[in-house]
Structure formats: structure tokens, C-alpha cells
């Protein structure tokens, strides 16, 4: 089969990555994005001199970004400046207990030894194992398209399966090393990025602890949107045509292939189509029943990663004694997890996260001001109303002001909330999910929704609901993987210039 023109649906990290990789192979690519700018969940909001990354704010795994740009003979530094945050982040526990996760781990060590003597030596061993998992996981496993179990029948991987801890849970793994509940919680924190609870997540993912504590937390100058801008520039350099305000509404077919992508009344020709929009939206809302990969029942049974309630707040003063990233774990974790995963409800006492970008980046807020983003993880599909959002705003503000010992509410000059209904309206997010599908054992690799449509020869999927999973680095990798699969399945041909 030949392919000279691809249409990519959605301008998030996965769609941009796919478009760049396909264009690099010589194929002509049109990327269609429903919103007025690309970035998807990583869009930006600017108002009254404040700038907010609307979604991701943690830049982890810098090697993945370097590898991405390196594929095209570029470096991250060709596009944006990267700084390692030190401390990477602060965590607040009950009883005024606070820890800074510093790059040298000196402060972390002192804190750990205070709570549990001997625990830092255990951390060193824990991280050695995590490093092994990271290296095998990131260099090998995550780049597998997961179309067949045979991809994983590799002696090195089979031998390493036990060491990779695929079949034990992250919770058990952490518990064998650490006893103090705060240490356990700190080690379990990176799992929250995978959208699942530690008891349900393979211990393989302690690789995230290596990413956290060894590789560090970074900040791209200008915010996470600088990465989107970089990928947008690279896509344009590669000749990708990017069209915003172009919502895909359906397809036309020629037997077992799509031959046209509909944007309202307009139909664009396509040899290959890659859906980087939410998988469920394309599968169930854009395709007819006989061409969709999975039933509504299948989707309903998936364990989604959480949705979120976010507040983007501009205040007219500086906050003292606050780092760029702070986690407020001063409430029972298991109760909040139960409210997300087991008995979906608004949590009684939520854990929350605050990003204070202007601490690092003076351009994020006017002089003397602060740009703050508050995030509460929530179960997807909860009833979302202005009243509820406001109630939770005050719930966390009461605690935030008490913990930090500073008044915030009297200084607010800008405020916007964002939650489930917005995720649905802006991104067609299934059940208003924020992070896609949880990386539980039964939703890993070949057990995830597949990257290829079973009924149509030229429709593929990419992004956080398929392999390898949620998060910015996995979404970028997802685009690489799907482009590789297309070039295996199709002969990608340079498009001939059109003659008039
Ligand atoms: C609040 C929040 C915080 C997060 N924090 C982090 C973090 O700190 N670090 C991290 O690594 N990850 C984080 N994540 C996860 C990360 O942002 C996502 O996994 C990643 O951005 C998903 O990229 P994607 O390309 O798969 O999907 P998306 O970004 O959703 O892109 C899909 C695109 O498709 C478009 N689209 C939908 N329907 C159509 C249609 N019919 N036609 C055309 N276009 C369409 C959408 O508008 C969207 O632009 C966070 C996510 C959220 C929401």
C-alpha cells in the first residue's frame, strides 16, 4: 500500500509528534485541530499579564525530549531553555511536616533519617532497581507498538521480567523498603502521574521514582507551552500544514479504507489517518458502529485516569516561602483515592497541588504578582457545577492560607476554574478525563486500546488513551511509535507537486 498524504486529527503532543515523524519520512501531512491553537491539554491561557499552562506543568524525563528532537538532528536547546528546579518540589504532610526534594538529596536525606533511621540507604537501593527499570522501560518497552504479545518475547526482556517487577504492586514494593507513612507516600507520589493507585500499579513503575529523584524536575523557560511551540515550529519546518479551528466531524469511505476526512462540509483527501484526538471520541462518535474498534460497554469498563478541578489564579502580591511545585498531602490519601477510583464522589478532604510558575519565571505574572494554578484530582464523570467548584475553591483555600500562614483570597485579581465539563467541551474528553487511561496492569501494553483500527486499513490512533500511556513524554513517544507502524504498513511516498 502506498501513502503520500496523511491527515492527523488533533494538535496535542501526540498529534504533533505523529505529524513531525510522518513528515520527516517524506509524506505530506495536514494536522487538524478543533481549538484555536495547538497544544491540546497543554494549551496556554493568558489574561491581564498573567500566563498559565492549562495542563501539564511537570517536565520530567528530559532524555525523552532530547531524544525526540535528536531524531531530526535538533537539540532541545535549539528551541527552549531548560532549567533544573532545585528543590524539584515541596511536600506538605499533616502536623506541619514539610520536605523539600532537593537535587543533591541532602535535605531529603536529613528528613528521611529523622523520620526513619536507615531509610536513606534503603532509598539508594530502591533507586538502583528503579534505574534498571527506567533504562529497560524507556529505551525499549515504551517504544513497542503492542500489536502482538510476540513483541515482548525477547530473551533479555523475559529474563528481566522478574527484576522489572511487572507482577507485584507498587504499594507492596514501596512497603518492603519503607515503614514511615510519609516516606511511603512520597515514594508513591510519582504513580499519581500514571492515573492509578499504587496498589493497582505494577512495581515496574518505580521507574518513575528514578525519573523524579535522579533525573529531576525541570522547567522550560516560558512554561510547558514552550515545548508545544517548539514542536509546532519543527512541524512547520518539516512542511506540515497545521489548521486550527478545524474540527473533524466524520469520514468518507472506500471499502475498508477512509478516503476523506470531513471538516464540516469540506472533505480532505487522505491515504492515512491518525486520530490524536481522544480515542473514544473518534472510535464512538466519529465512526459508525461497524467500523469502531470497541463497544460502548468496553469503554465504560476502562479504568480512566482522574479528571481534575483546576483554578488559575492571579494575585497582586508575592507569596513567601513557597516553591515552584508544592504538593499538599495534609489529608488522608486513601480516602481521596477511594473517592476517585472505588466509590466515585467529590472527596471530603482533597489532596491538592499548587504550581507557582512566577517563582521561577518572572514573565508568568506582572511585577510583584504571582500566577498560581491549583489542581484537585477528581473521579471522571462527576457532576460538575459552578456551586461545587466554588465550594471546593474555599475548601482548599482555607487549608492553603492556614498552611502558608498568608492571606490569598483578598489579593485575587484574576480567577478561572476548569473541570470535567470543560474537558468535554474543549477536547471531547471521554467522561471528562484529564489524563487518559490509567496505567494499571490490566491496561498495560497489548491490554490497552490498540493503535490500529481493526476494520479500516488506514486508520491509526495515538495519544494518552493508547500505548504507551498518559503524560507528556508517553504522548510524544506514542506519536513516534504510530509513525513507525505506518511506515512498516505503507510505502510512504513523497507527494508529487500538483500541476495546474
Ligand atoms: C491538568 C493536567 C495536568 C497534567 N499534568 C501533567 C504533567 O505535569 N506532566 C506530564 O507529563 N503530563 C501531565 N498531564 C498529562 C498530559 O498533559 C497529557 O497526557 C498529554 O498532554 C496528552 O496529549 P495528547 O496529544 O494525547 O492529547 P490532547 O492534548 O488532548 O490532544 C488531543 C487534541 O485533539 C483535539 N481534538 C479533539 N477532537 C477533535 C476533533 N474532532 N477534530 C480536531 N481536533 C480534535 C483536541 O482539541 C486536542 O487538542 C496533565 C494533564 C492535565 C489535563
Q: Is the pLDDT of residue 306 over 80?
A: yes
pLDDT tens string 346-391: 999 999 999 999 999 999 999 999 999 999 999 999 999 999 999 9
Does the C-beta of 9 come closer than 6 Å to ligand 1?
yes
How far, in Å, from the CA of 277 to the mean position of ligand 1? 8
Please report, in angstroms and rounded to a whole number, the separation of the first and last CA atoms in the chain.
26
Does the C-beta of 378 come closer than 6 Å to ligand 1?
no
How far, in Å, from the CA of 32 to the mean position of ligand 1? 15
Does the C-beta of 15 come closer than 6 Å to ligand 1?
yes
Query: What rounded mean pLDDT belongs to the chain?
Result: 94
75 Cβ partners below 8 Å, 6+ apart? 66, 69
pLDDT tens string 140-193: 888 989 888 787 776 566 667 777 777 789 999 999 999 999 999 999 999 888
**Atom 47 of ligand 1: nearest residue by CA position:** 427
* Separation between Cα atoms, residue 459 and residue 86, nearest integer Å: 44
The CATH number given to 103-218 is 1.10.405
* Separation between Cα atoms, residue 99 and residue 90, nearest integer Å: 6
Residue at grid coordinates 489542581: 375
pLDDT tens string 26-38: 999 999 999 999 9
Does the C-beta of 13 come closer than 6 Å to ligand 1?
yes
pTM here is: 0.97
pLDDT tens string 216-261: 999 999 999 999 999 999 999 999 999 999 999 999 999 999 999 9
398 Cβ partners below 8 Å, 6+ apart? none
Question: Percentages helix, strand, coil for the chain, rounded to the nearest 5?
Answer: 45, 20, 35
pLDDT tens string 451-460: 999 999 999 9
| The predicted structure's pLDDT at residue 500 | 43
For the chain, the residue count is 500
* Domain 2-57+223-302+439-492 listed as CATH 3.30.420.40: no
Amino acid at each position: 500500500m502506498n501513502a503520500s498524504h496523511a491527515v492527523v486529527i488533533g494538535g496535542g503532543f501526540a498529534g504533533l509528534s505523529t505529524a513531525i515523524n510522518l513528515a520527516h519520512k517524506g509524506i505530506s501531512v495536514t494536522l487538524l485541530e478543533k481549538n484555536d491553537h495547538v497544544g491540546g491539554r497543554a494549551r496556554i491561557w493568558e489574561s491581564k499579564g498573567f500566563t498559565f499552562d492549562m495542563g501539564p506543568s511537570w517536565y520530567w524525563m528530559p532524555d525523552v525530549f532530547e531524544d525526540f528532537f535528536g531524531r531530526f538532528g535538533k537539540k532541545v536547546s535549539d528551541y527552549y531553555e531548560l532549567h533544573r528546579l532545585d528543590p524539584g518540589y515541596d511536600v506538605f504532610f499533616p502536623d506541619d511536616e514539610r520536605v523539600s526534594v532537593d537535587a543533591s538529596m541532602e535535605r531529603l536525606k536529613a528528613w528521611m533519617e529523622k523520620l526513619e533511621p536507615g531509610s536513606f540507604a534503603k532509598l539508594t537501593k530502591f533507586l538502583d532497581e528503579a534505574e534498571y527499570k527506567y533504562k529497560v522501560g524507556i529505551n525499549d518497552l515504551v517504544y513497542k507498538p503492542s500489536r502482538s504479545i510476540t513483541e515482548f518475547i525477547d530473551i533479555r526482556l523475559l529474563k528481566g521480567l522478574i527484576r522489572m517487577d511487572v507482577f507485584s504492586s507498587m504499594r507492596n514494593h514501596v512497603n518492603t523498603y519503607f515503614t514511615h507513612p510519609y516516606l511511603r507516600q512520597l515514594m508513591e507520589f510519582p504513580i499519581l502521574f500514571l492515573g492509578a493507585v499504587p496498589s493497582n500499579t505494577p512495581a515496574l513503575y518505580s521507574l518513575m521514582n528514578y525519573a523524579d529523584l535522579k533525573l529531576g524536575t525541570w522547567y522550560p523557560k516560558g512554561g510547558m507551552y514552550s515545548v508545544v511551540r517548539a514542536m509546532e515550529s519543527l512541524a512547520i519546518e518539516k512542511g506540515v500544514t497545521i489548521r486550527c479551528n478545524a474540527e473533524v466531524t466524520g469520514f468518507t469511505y472506500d471499502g475498508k479504507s477512509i478516503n476523506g476526512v470531513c471538516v464540516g462540509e469540506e472533505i480532505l483527501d487522505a491515504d492515512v489517518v491518525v486520530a490524536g484526538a481522544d480515542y473514544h471520541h473518534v472510535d464512538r462518535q466519529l465512526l459508525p458502529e461497524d467500523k469502531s474498534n470497541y463497544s460502548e460497554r468496553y469503554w465504560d469498563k476502562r479504568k480512566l485516569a482522574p479528571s481534575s478541578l483546576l483554578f488559575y489564579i492571579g494575585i497582586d502580591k508575592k507569596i513567601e516561602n513557597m516553591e515552584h511545585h508544592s504538593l499538599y498531602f495534609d489529608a488522608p490519601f486513601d480516602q481521596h483515592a477511594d473517592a476517585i477510583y472505588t466509590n466515585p464522589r467529590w472527596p471530603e478532604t482533597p489532596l491538592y497541588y499548587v504550581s507557582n510558575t512566577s517563582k521561577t519565571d518572572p514573565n508568568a505574572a506582572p511585577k510583584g504578582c504571582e500566577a498560581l494554578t491549583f489542581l484537585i484530582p477528581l473521579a471522571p464523570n462527576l457532576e460538575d457545577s459552578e456551586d461545587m467548584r466554588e465550594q471546593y475553591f474555599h475548601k482548599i483555600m482555607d487549608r492553603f492560607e492556614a498552611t502558608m500562614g498568608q492571606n490569598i483570597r483578598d489579593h485575587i485579581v484574576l480567577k478561572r476554574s476548569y473541570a470535567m465539563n470543560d474537558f468535554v467541551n474543549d477536547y471531547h474528553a471521554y467522561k471528562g478525563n484529564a489524563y487518559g487511561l490509567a496505567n494499571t496492569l490490566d491496561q498495560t501494553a497489548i491490554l490497552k486500546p490498540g493503535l490500529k483500527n481493526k476494520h479500516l486499513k488506514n486508520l491509526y490512533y495515538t495519544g494518552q488513551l493508547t500505548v504507551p500511556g498518559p503524560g507528556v513524554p508517553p504522548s510524544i513517544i506514542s506519536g513516534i511509535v504510530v509513525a513507525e507502524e505506518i511506515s512498516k504498513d505503507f510505502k510512504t511516498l513523497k507527494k508529487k507537486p500538483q500541476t495546474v
